[in-house]
């Protein structure tokens, strides 16, 4: 049974082994990041291709009491192109409320011009991207200075990415343009809680910056097959982390390092025990880490360790007590697998029956119950 863990979505393994992660050439250190509450850097954009049909002027410094959206895009970026109609609607909605959108590519001007003359696919009526985007400022800055001042300075490694600049010239929000409607509405109305958003965003931003540093420095060692040095560098870079959530995420990344390096089983088990301890306060994370213990054992990446399986079972059972519905069913499925790994088939069947009752029509959960019952029957005939 395969379980997908959202918190492992962007791992060092993906970066090193060719995962689809867009990386900036360089990243500011976590302490120097452009972030929520920072003064928005001045703009020095080379080519202003669209200007709202003359409604908007070129921007270098941000005017007081106006709101700006500085968005980064590229002609080759599918999500960027898909966001264009939404950006058009936002500009039309807020044009008379002191809001100006400035979309910046770092491609040559002729590439952008050629793109704008293409027809918009699946449009209700025949039109081009030039016609579609005429209501806002669409620009390109081939020397990459704007990208450096914003994207790299903020540790952002994926586009499209929008920065909302508030009426005082400070960064109010950073994120995907398809998610900026509510923040923009509150910024314009003067009701946006910048401080509250900054608290949650800065931790995420620091995590991204550290990931990039790890990917670059540890990745280089992995490519040279210096596995021992790679793990030592990983430990050195992640040692200062204080956030429990961040610490757990990097601990799970370390497991992938162990897999690549074929580390000693004792070290792998030690990392897993540490992850279990950190995850024990969060039911969902408890399930994810406990399942990882089972999965690595089942796949032969870890020698069967009854003490470790027992620790994972203890953490999973504690999580079950705090959960309800299908979520509880998923954790009970983990409990059943761990019980099976420990040789407790009767207990495994008991847990899996409850998981089936809570898990609805999940075929994998039902199939494992059938396997357990068949094995129990076979053992009685011996």
Angle 125-126-131 (CA atoms, 0-180°, nearest 5)? 105
Q: List the domains of the chain with CATH numbers.
A: 33-192 (3.40.30.10), 203-381 (1.25.40.10)
> Which residue carries 């560098």 as its tokens?
233
Rounded distance between C-alpha atoms, residue 141 and residue 105, angstroms:
6
Looking at residue 25, its pLDDT comes to 42
Angle 13-238-223 (CA atoms, 0-180°, nearest 5)? 35
Give the three-state DSSP class for 184.
Answer: helix
Q: Residue 34 burial by CB count (10 A; 0-12/13-18/19+): exposed, middle or buried?
A: buried
What is the per-residue pLDDT across 65-85, written as a single tens digit (0 to 9) for each?
999 999 999 999 999 999 999
What is the per-residue pLDDT across 202-253, written as a single tens digit (0 to 9) for each?
877 877 778 888 888 998 999 999 999 999 999 999 888 888 888 898 999 8
User: Measured in whole angstroms, how far is the alpha carbon of residue 321 from the centre of its chain?
Assistant: 29
Rounded distance between C-alpha atoms, residue 117 and residue 232, angstroms:
52
Q: What are residue 139's DSSP bridge partners?
A: 48, 104
Per-residue pLDDT of the chain (382 residues; tens, 9 = 90+): 334 333 333 333 343 333 223 434 444 555 578 999 999 999 999 999 999 999 999 999 999 999 999 999 999 999 999 999 999 999 999 989 999 999 999 999 999 999 999 999 887 889 999 999 999 999 999 999 999 999 989 988 889 999 999 999 999 999 999 999 999 999 999 999 999 999 888 877 877 778 888 888 998 999 999 999 999 999 999 888 888 888 898 999 898 898 888 888 999 999 999 999 999 999 999 999 999 999 999 988 888 999 999 999 999 999 999 999 989 999 999 999 999 999 999 999 999 999 999 876 788 899 999 999 998 888 877 6
> Which residue carries 């494992």 as its tokens?
368
Looking at residue 32, its pLDDT comes to 77
Give the three-state DSSP class for 104.
Answer: strand
Instruction: Quote the pTM value.
Output: 0.61
Nearest alpha carbon to residue 252 among 281, 201, 293, 204:
293
Query: Could you tell me if 327 and 316 are in contact, meaning their C-beta atoms sit under 8 angstroms apart?
Result: no
Angle 280-363-321 (CA atoms, 0-180°, nearest 5)? 25
Query: Could you tell me if 73 and 160 are in contact, meaning their C-beta atoms sit under 8 angstroms apart?
Result: yes
Structure tokens at 67: 């709101």
> Which residue carries 């020397």 as its tokens?
143
Q: Residue 311 burial by CB count (10 A; 0-12/13-18/19+): exposed, middle or buried?
A: buried
User: Measured in whole angstroms, how far is the alpha carbon of residue 123 from the centre of its chain?
Assistant: 31
Q: What are residue 138's DSSP bridge partners?
A: 50, 103
DSSP string covering 135-155: TSEEEE-TT-HHHIIIIITTT
* φ and ψ of 16, to 5 deg: -75, -35
Rounded distance between C-alpha atoms, residue 58 and residue 102, angstroms:
9
Rounded distance between C-alpha atoms, residue 113 and residue 243, angstroms:
46
159: number of Cβ within 10 Å: 23
- Whether the link from the prior residue into 160 is cis, omega within 30° of 0, is yes
Looking at residue 30, its pLDDT comes to 52
Q: Residue 73 burial by CB count (10 A; 0-12/13-18/19+): exposed, middle or buried?
A: buried
């Amino acid at each position: 049974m395969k379980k997908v863990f959202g918190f492992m979505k962007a791992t060092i393994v993906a970066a090193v082994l060719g995962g689809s992660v867009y990386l900036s050439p360089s990243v500011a250190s976590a302490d120097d990041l452009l972030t929520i509450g920072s003064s928005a850097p001045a703009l020095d954009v080379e080519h202003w291709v669209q200007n709202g049909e003359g409604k908007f002027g070129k921007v270098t410094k941000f005017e007081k009491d106006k709101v700006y959206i500085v968005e980064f895009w590229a002609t080759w970026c599918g999500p960027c192109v898909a966001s264009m109609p939404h950006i058009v609607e936002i500009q039309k909605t807020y044009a008379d409320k002191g809001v100006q959108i400035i979309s910046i590519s770092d491609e040559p001007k002729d590439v952008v011009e050629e793109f704008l003359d293409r027809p918009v696919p699946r449009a209700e009526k025949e039109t081009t991207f030039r016609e579609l985007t005429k209501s806002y400022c669409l620009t390109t800055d081939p020397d990459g200075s704007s990208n450096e001042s914003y994207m790299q300075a903020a540790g952002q490694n994926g586009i499209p990415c929008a920065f909302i600049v508030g009426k005082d010239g400070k960064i109010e929000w950073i994120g995907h343009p398809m998610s900026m409607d509510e923040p923009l509405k509150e910024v314009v109305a003067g009701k946006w809680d910048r401080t509250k958003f900054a608290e949650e965003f800065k931790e995420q931003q620091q995590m991204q910056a550290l990931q990039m540093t790890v990917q670059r420095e540890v990745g280089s060692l992995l490519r040279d097959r210096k596995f021992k040095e790679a793990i030592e560098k990983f430990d050195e870079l992640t040692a200062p982390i204080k956030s429990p959530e961040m610490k757990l995420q990097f601990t799970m990344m370390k497991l992938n390092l162990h897999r690549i390096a074929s580390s000693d089983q004792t070290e792998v088990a030690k990392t897993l025990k540490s992850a279990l301890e950190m995850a024990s306060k969060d039911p969902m994370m408890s399930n994810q880490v406990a399942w990882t213990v089972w999965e690595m054992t089942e796949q032969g990446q870890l020698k069967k360790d009854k003490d470790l399986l027992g620790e994972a079972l203890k953490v999973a059972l504690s999580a079950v007590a705090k959960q309800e519905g299908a979520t509880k069913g998923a954790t009970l499925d983990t409990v059943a697998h761990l019980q099976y790994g420990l040789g407790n088939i009767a207990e495994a069947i008991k847990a899996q029956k409850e998981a089936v009752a809570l898990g609805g029509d999940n075929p994998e959960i039902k199939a494992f119950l059938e396997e357990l019952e068949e094995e129990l029957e076979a053992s009685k005939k011996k």
